[in-house]
Amino acid sequence: MNRFRKPLLFLCDSLILVVLSIFFSWFSLRYNLGDAVGQSLQISQNFLLLYGCTVLFQLLLHTYDSLWRYAESREYLSLLIAALGGFFLYEVLARQLLETVISFLLLTSVAGSWVLGMLLLRFMYRVYRSRVLYRRGGHQVPVAIVGAGSAGVQLLEELQSNPGSRYSVQCFFDDDPGKVGKRIRGVEIKGTIAQAKERLRAMDIQEIIVAIPSADDERRHQILQKLSGLERVRISVLPSTLDLIAQKPIRSQLRQLRIEDLLGREPVELDPAPVDAYLTGKVVMVTGGGGSIGSELCRQIARHNPKQLIVVDIYENNAYDIQQELRYHYGSKLNLRVEIASIRDRERVNQLFATYRPDVVFHAAAHKHVPLMEDSPQEAVRNNVFGTLNLVQAADAYGVGKFIQISTDKAVNPTSVMGATKRLCEIILQSMKGRSKTTFAAVRFGNVLGSNGSVVPLFQRQIAAGGPVTVTDKRIIRYFMTISEATELVLQAGAMAHQNELYVLDMGRPVKILDLAENMIRLSGYVPYRDIDIIETGLRPGEKLYEELLVASRDIEKTENDQIFVERQPAVTPEELRGKLAVLEAALEKNDPSVIRGALRMVVPHFHEPEEVNKDQGEEVVIPEQETDRPCSKSCS
């Protein structure tokens, strides 16, 4: 119908004038009104001239090009201006061209009625689209919009006018007291955001849309906390104001609530310029490049235009996935190589370094699942410790410029085999200080939202299945960050690294896992412990109630970025490292998990059994004053 929209509208306007002309001509002749009542032909000539003048102005002002389904005051004003312009032009031309001019009373009657008819025609079309087509669109989901600002009103207009929308907007909530009780397009603003939870309980609302794209993370966190707890009510949010600039339909930009919206802290944003300086035009290798962190590293590295990107991974499926993704986005612009290899294979590692001669290496390959490594400590030691040793020695031998190790908060005062092996990886890097032209650095951060094996996707799957949601202990707390934050930190650390530093991100306050589970259930529209139960399964082997980052330690210094810290650790001598590795090699030969675990306790400072650490905690977990491997000199405080 779009092809015929303008001709149809033009025809309808013409028919309105024809009907009005016939009526007013009959009326004028019948009651002998006006100066030109004697000749119906003369009246018709006047009406035709009036029609031509008005249509001319409508064409000049493009009123027939307007989409009246979206018309606002500007479109209606243009129509009125066109009508007035046509009337004035008619007055000038009629007195010059016609013998008889119709009376002013008749002119204003016809003109006013015609303009009113055109306005009514367009208004009825809008009502038809917003009401009739709206009902046909299957708007079966009653929804409330939080935020009666411009974004909320725009969202309402689109939902009401789009037949494909599945939402039926029932009410608004807004914190502006002057708006409460008013209506927008027939939808009432029921109250403030603080009143929303109470008032929505009495309404049949299935979904809430938070339409305040200008709200920062802290404000969004506060709003979501006020809305959480409603039974069977899902929550969606509009993205930030900058994302809305993309000019996509606003309804298509609704997203399900992300759990990072609940963390209540601003995402860490780092300056990309220093990263460009050491990645652009360089050969970059990523080990474990198919994993959660490794694949995101590859994505972000590709944006910095490396000379070549080498993805190394033992798991071919993950490696294939990131290969296809990068090829799709960059094609031949990215010089990409994917190598299937184990970092435990020293010869294969040396072959890769000899072939590609990387300038920068990001080492993300590791066995990271805590309970699994408790059952197979020999694999954790072979892969995490001796695999890292192979890479470090190759990086030194082949002149790598920078080598960045991905570490974890579980390496601080470890209580697990995985944490202990990752601490040994840091010690291996420390041992190279002053002995290599390669700059070695490690980056330590907490749990990554959405990574393979993390708690958030586990909770999402359990909620989708109807529960129960499982937590190992209701007291357990963890630090969280997004995958994007983690990888940006790693890249920034590479830019800062100069002398075997260990970098730590200030991740704000730790999050209680029980609170996380309860909020995820509520914001999925369910009631914890009634609709979906939460059960404790007991701490897993090697798991402690809290993790540490050492951001409160006296061994920590701020960098130029106030959210990134560097831990100045004393160097480890080559002899000390060789002694530690010899103990582990002897334990591996026996292939006895208990012997290997005992060896780790011997060589890793402050490696405790989790029971020793957890026994002192009460109902609320308190992170104790943190230990370090050895006292720090005044020069590093």
Q: Would you say 539 and 472 are in contact if contact means Cβ atoms under 8 Å apart?
A: yes
Alpha helices by DSSP H, listed for 346-386, are: 346-356, 370-375, 377-380
Give residue 508's pLDDT: 62
Q: Is the pLDDT of residue 181 over 80?
A: yes
Give residue 450's pLDDT: 59
pLDDT digit string, tens, across residues 353-375: 999 999 999 999 999 888 899 99
Provide the token pair at 164.
């494909």
State the average pLDDT over residues 92-105: 69
Between CA 160 and CA 156 the distance in angstroms is 6
Superfamily of domain 137-257: NAD(P)-binding Rossmann-like Domain (3.40.50.720)
Provide the token pair at 559.
């960098």
Give residue 555's pLDDT: 63
Of the CATH numbers 2.40.128.20, 3.40.50.720, 3.30.1360.150, 3.60.15.10, which one belongs to the domain with range 273-636? 3.40.50.720
Share of the chain above pLDDT 90, in %: 30
Between CA 517 and CA 259 the distance in angstroms is 10
Q: Is the pLDDT of residue 384 over 80?
A: yes
Q: Is the pLDDT of residue 239 over 90?
A: no
Q: Tell how far CA 586 is from the center of its chain.
A: 48
Q: Where are the domains of the chain?
A: 2-134, 137-257, 273-636
pLDDT digit string, tens, across residues 14-54: 777 677 666 766 666 655 544 444 455 666 677 777 778 87
CB neighbourhood size of 298 (10 A): 27
Q: Alpha-carbon dihedral of residues 242, 246, 250, 252, nearest 10 degrees?
A: -120
Give residue 160's pLDDT: 75
Between CA 353 and CA 363 the distance in angstroms is 13
Give residue 405's pLDDT: 94
Asked if 410 is an active-site residue, the reply is yes
pLDDT tier for residue 66 given thresholds of 50, 70 and 90: low
Give residue 603's pLDDT: 93
Domains 137-257 and 273-636 share a fold: yes
Q: Is the pLDDT of residue 199 over 60?
A: yes
Length of the chain (residues):
637
**Which of these, 187, 216, 212, 191, lies nearest to 201 by C-alpha position?**
191
3-class secondary structure, 151: helix
Q: Is the pLDDT of residue 563 over 70?
A: no
Give residue 154's pLDDT: 83
Give residue 454's pLDDT: 67
Give residue 325's pLDDT: 95
pTM of the model: 0.59
Give residue 254's pLDDT: 47
Amino acid at 216: D
Give residue 5's pLDDT: 63
pLDDT tier for residue 139 given thresholds of 50, 70 and 90: low
Alpha helices by DSSP H, listed for 331-432, are: 346-356, 370-375, 377-380, 387-397, 417-430
Q: Is the pLDDT of residue 107 over 60?
A: yes
Task: Write phi, then psi, for 290 (nearest 5 degrees).
Answer: -95, -5
Lowest mean pLDDT among 309-323, 473-487, 534-548: 534-548
Q: Would you say 173 and 212 are in contact if contact means Cβ atoms under 8 Å apart?
A: no
pLDDT digit string, tens, across residues 590-637: 989 999 999 999 999 888 776 565 555 545 554 555 444 433 332 232
Average pLDDT, the chain: 79
Q: Is the pLDDT of residue 290 over 90?
A: yes
| Bigger pLDDT: 510 vs 495 | 495
Q: Is the pLDDT of residue 192 over 70?
A: yes
Give residue 40's pLDDT: 58
Amino acid at 192: T
Q: Given the residues 190, 282, 402, 410, select the one marked as catalytic.
A: 410
Q: Would you say 285 and 337 are in contact if contact means Cβ atoms under 8 Å apart?
A: no
Cis previous bond, 468, omega within 30: yes
